[in-house]
Each structure stands twice: as structure tokens, then as C-alpha cells.
């Protein structure tokens, strides 16, 4: 068995048995987005035996003056970019990742993926702070609804009477989707990408990507989401609602409409998306009774380095979040892409 590094223009022709667990974030269409928008270099590795590809790893190099120099899988995704058929293939890819990290002089290499056992092998450190939430939507909707608590069912029913509307589309909804996401991320104190990023993503992913835009009873934008199909799974990449509609259960309305649509289209799993353990986002997602799946976030650290803390609970980000919420929109939208590109 050997490791092969694909050249920049060499297409990745990998089997579905590996690309499915590695999610859409391993595909050339996804890594190409980060290269075209932010200039990130991608390193695509595969483990091969005589006849087959038995492991795949896609690493993107991030070099940011404020947020560090590192390698990561699944840029701007929750997880993915790494899959293997056996432990030997896994270990060969891990060794190659560490060698690449040393060659490039990065602070760390970070592999983010879904694993049955997130315990890393020697030389890697697990940071167990994230889970994703996998909802089985293969059952009839009434059966799914009956599984929720009575309070949650009641909130969904109330939301359906509030006059909200949701539209699903592609580039026809680009402007409204961007507006909903940019506004909601500003409220949360987080930077967001440019509209060009969303446009490039939609063009690259084609009909596997869908925007959803939430409107209040007056027709004003109240939230938005980006959803990506991969196999029988629909993944929530970004989805937020504005603060002013939360008390009317707008979040319940949006998610129920997404679940309805995904079920009608034949998807079996709705990946509700990554959240920090113990966060308010996790509390909301657990209301839908998903399978809570801890994510493997493995780090190979440069000697003397510590685990990075690039998330909203980090004490060093608290003042920045407070300030960001209070900055005018024109500054936030201009500076947001520069900052978020370091948070891949």
C-alpha cells in the first residue's frame, strides 16, 4: 500500500464508499470554492493498494495574519474530508498529514470528521467540543412529529399559524439568502462571507445546493439557510433566523419546513449541523430528537503548541463579539470575509 498525492489539476476519482462518509467537503467542487474565493491551497492524498483507493484525505492550508497558519479538512464545513476503509490506510494518511504539516511549518493539522470512535491514535490529540445532530427522516412525517415532546409539537403548530413563509431556490434567491444570513450573523457577533462566496458555491454545486429564505408576515426577510445534498443526506451548512422573530417560534417553522421538503424529496437523513457542546444551539437541535454524534476533531500540534480555541466560547473572542454586534453593517460586511477566511 502506498500514498499518492494528486496534482493540482488531477481530478479525484474516488469511490462512493469513501466520498459518502467524507461528505461533500472532500469533493473537488467544494475545495475548489475555497481556492477560487480565498486562494487556499488544497492537498489531496489517497491511500492505494494494488487495485483500489482505500483511503482519502483532503487538507486545505490556511494562512492568516490574525488567526494562524494551519491545515484542516472540510474548510467552512462542519466535518468531512477524511475517510478510510481500514486502520492501515488511516494510519498511512495520518503519517502523511503530519509530514506535510512539518514540511509547511504550520502550527497544527486538524482533521474534522465523523467517526464511530473519536479517540485518536498516538501523535494526535482529540478536542471533544463539537457534535453534529443526525435526524432520521425516512419515516412518515406524522410518525416523526409524534416522537417530539408535546411542548415542541405545540411550538411547531403555533409557528405554522404566525403567517411566516419560506421560499426554496437557487441563484434566484441569492440576494435574499445573503441578506438573511449576513443580518443574522451580525446579530450573533460573527463575521460572514461575501455574496460572491455564496454565488460561487451555488454555481459550483449546482442542484445539490439549495437556499431557503424565511419571510415574516409582512414579507420582510427573517432568516435564511444553505442546504447541501450528498447521497441520501441533506446537510444544514448555515441556517439562522433574526432575533425579532424568535419568540414567534420562527426557528421551529423554518426547520419543520426544511424537514418536510427533505422528506418529500426522498432524503433519509437531515444533518442539522454542528454545534458546541452545551450551547444554546445544541439545546434547540436536541428538541428534534436527533442522534447526537460526537465529532472527531484530531490535532497534530507543532512541538510546544497548544490546542487552538477558534470558537465563540473562547475568552479572547468575547470582546470582539461584543464589538462586532455594535459595528455598522457596511463595516461588518466589508471586513467579514477577511476575518472569516481565517476560521475555515
Cβ atoms of residues 115 and 104 within 8 Å: no
- On the question of pLDDT at 270 being above 80, the answer is yes
Q: Return the residue matching grid coordinates 477560487.
A: 36
Per-residue pLDDT at 114:
96
| Contacts with 334 (C-beta within 8 Å, 6 or more apart), sequence order | none
Architecture per CATH, 2-128+295-308 = 3-Layer(aba) Sandwich (3.40)
Q: How far apart are CA 140 and CA 283, in angstroms?
A: 24
- Which among 135, 211, 206, 205 is positioned nearest to 166, based on CA atoms? 211
- Which among 337, 325, 318 is positioned nearest to 185, based on CA atoms? 325
Q: How far apart are CA 323 and CA 333, in angstroms?
A: 14
- On the question of pLDDT at 234 being above 80, the answer is yes
pLDDT tens digits, one per residue of 31-69? 999 999 999 999 999 999 988 999 999 999 999 999 999
- On the question of pLDDT at 315 being above 80, the answer is no
Q: Which three cell numbers stand for residue 30?
A: 467544494
**260 phi, psi to nearest 5 deg:** -55, -50
| Contacts with 30 (C-beta within 8 Å, 6 or more apart), sequence order | 24, 75, 77, 204, 205
**How remote is the C-alpha of 172 from its chain's centroid?**
23
Continuous H helices in the chain? 16-22, 28-38, 87-104, 141-146, 150-159, 174-188, 195-205, 250-264, 280-286, 315-326, 329-340
- Fold assignment, 138-267: Aminopeptidase (3.40.630)
**23 φ/ψ sector (left φ>0, alpha ψ -120 to 50, else beta):** left
What band does 312 get if pLDDT is binned at 50, 70 and 90?
Answer: confident
What band does 314 get if pLDDT is binned at 50, 70 and 90?
Answer: confident
Per-residue pLDDT at 338:
93
- Which among 217, 201, 200 is positioned nearest to 209, based on CA atoms? 201
| DSSP character string of 167-233 | EEESGGGHHHHHHHHHHHHHHHT-----HHHHHHHHHHHGGGEEEEEEE-TTS-EEEEEEEEEETTE
pLDDT tens digits, one per residue of 111-163? 999 998 999 999 999 999 999 999 999 999 999 999 999 999 999 999 999 99
pLDDT tens digits, one per residue of 187-221? 999 999 999 999 999 999 999 999 999 999 999 99
- On the question of pLDDT at 293 being above 80, the answer is yes
Q: How far apart are CA 253 and CA 137, in angstroms?
A: 16
Note the residue count of the chain.
344
Per-residue pLDDT at 304:
86
- On the question of pLDDT at 316 being above 80, the answer is no
More confident residue, 314 or 138: 138
Per-residue pLDDT at 272:
97
Instruction: Give me the residue spans of the domains in the chain.
Output: 2-128+295-308, 138-267
Domains 2-128+295-308 and 138-267 share a fold: yes
pLDDT tens digits, one per residue of 85-117? 999 999 999 999 999 999 999 999 999 999 989
- On the question of pLDDT at 318 being above 90, the answer is no
Strands 108-114 and 68-72: parallel
Q: How far apart are CA 115 and CA 256, in angstroms?
A: 28
Q: Three-state SS for 46? A: strand
- On the question of pLDDT at 313 being above 80, the answer is no
Q: Three-state SS for 130? A: strand
Per-residue pLDDT at 286:
98
pTM for this prediction? 0.95
Per-residue pLDDT at 159:
98
What band does 168 get if pLDDT is binned at 50, 70 and 90?
Answer: very high
Q: Taking all residues of the chain, what is their mean pLDDT, rounded to a whole number?
A: 95
Q: Which three cell numbers stand for residue 278?
A: 452545551
Burial class (CB in 10 A: 0-12, 13-18, 19+), 8: exposed
Q: How far apart are CA 112 and CA 246, in angstroms?
A: 31
pLDDT tens digits, one per residue of 9-29? 899 999 999 999 999 999 999
Q: Which three cell numbers stand for residue 29?
A: 467542487
What band does 306 get if pLDDT is binned at 50, 70 and 90?
Answer: confident
Per-residue pLDDT at 40:
95
Amino acid at each position: 500500500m502506498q500514498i499518492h498525492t494528486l496534482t493540482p489539476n488531477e481530478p479525484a476519482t474516488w469511490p462512493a464508499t469513501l466520498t459518502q462518509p467524507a461528505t461533500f467537503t472532500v469533493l473537488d467542487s467544494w475545495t475548489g470554492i475555497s481556492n477560487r474565493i480565498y486562494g487556499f491551497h488544497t492537498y489531496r492524498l489517497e491511500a492505494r493498494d494494488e487495485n483500489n483507493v482505500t483511503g482519502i484525505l483532503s487538507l486545505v492550508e490556511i494562512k492568516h495574519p490574525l488567526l494562524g497558519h494551519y491545515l484542516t479538512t472540510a474548510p467552512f464545513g462542519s466535518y468531512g474530508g477524511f475517510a478510510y476503509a481500514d486502520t492501515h490506510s488511516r494510519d498511512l494518511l495520518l503519517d502523511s498529514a503530519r509530514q506535510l504539516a512539518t514540511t509547511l511549518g504550520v502550527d497544527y493539522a486538524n482533521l474534522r470528521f465523523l467517526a464511530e470512535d473519536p479517540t485518536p491514535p498516538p501523535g494526535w490529540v482529540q478536542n471533544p467540543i463539537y457534535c453534529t445532530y443526525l435526524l432520521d427522516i425516512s419515516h412518515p412525517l406524522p410518525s416523526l412529529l409524534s416522537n417530539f415532546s408535546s411542548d415542541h409539537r405545540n411550538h411547531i403548530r403555533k409557528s405554522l399559524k404566525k403567517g411566516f413563509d419560506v421560499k426554496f431556490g437557487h441563484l434566484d434567491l441569492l440576494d435574499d439568502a445573503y441578506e438573511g444570513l449576513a443580518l443574522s450573523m451580525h446579530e450573533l457577533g460573527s463575521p460572514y462571507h461575501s455574496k460572491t462566496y455564496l454565488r460561487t458555491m451555488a454555481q459550483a454545486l449546482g442542484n445539490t445546493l439549495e437556499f431557503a429564505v424565511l419571510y415574516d408576515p409582512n414579507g420582510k426577510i427573517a432568516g435564511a439557510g444553505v442546504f447541501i445534498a450528498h447521497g441520501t443526506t441533506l446537510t444544514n451548512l448555515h441556517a439562522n433566523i433574526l432575533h425579532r422573530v424568535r419568540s414567534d417560534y420562527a426557528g421551529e417553522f423554518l426547520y419543520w419546513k426544511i424537514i418536510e421538503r427533505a422528506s418529500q424529496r426522498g432524503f433519509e437523513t437531515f444533518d442539522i449541523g454542528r454545534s458546541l457542546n452545551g450551547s444554546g444551539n445544541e439545546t434547540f437541535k436536541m428538541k428534534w430528537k436527533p442522534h447526537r454524534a460526537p465529532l472527531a476533531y484530531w490535532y497534530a500540534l507543532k512541538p510546544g503548541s497548544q490546542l487552538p480555541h477558534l470558537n465563540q466560547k473562547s475568552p479572547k473572542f468575547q470582546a470582539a463579539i461584543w464589538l462586532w454586534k455594535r459595528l455598522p453593517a457596511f463595516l461588518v460586511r466589508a471586513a467579514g470575509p477577511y476575518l472569516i477566511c481565517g476560521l475555515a
